Amino acid sequence: MFQALQYAQIGIAILLIISILMQSRGSGVSAVFGGGDGVTHTRRGAEKWLFNATIALVVVFIGLSVASLVLQN
């Protein structure tokens, strides 16, 4: 059971990395130095779905991590 949790955690971590890398960086480096354009950006369509999927993957990853810690002790 513990080994299955570890494999699931690795799989979710890979999916989480992919979903974070797929998200676009709308503001870029210019916003870091105060050069933001001030236009509000709302997520729509696939971008909103990807954002919500990333949040869900984070919640599942944290749940698997806590379950792994509980089963380890």
Instruction: Give the pLDDT confidence score for residue 8 in this predicted structure.
Output: 95
29: helix, strand or coil: coil
Instruction: Give the pLDDT confidence score for residue 40 in this predicted structure.
Output: 64
Entry pTM:
0.73
Dihedral-angle region of residue 41 (phi above 0 means left; psi in -120 to 50 means alpha; beta otherwise): beta
Contacts 24+ apart (CB under 8 A), 29-33: none
User: Mean of the pLDDT values across residues 3-17?
Assistant: 95
Scored b (16 or more CB within 10 A) or e, 29-49 reads: eeeeeeeeeeeeeeeeeeeee
Q: Is the pLDDT of residue 9 over 80?
A: yes
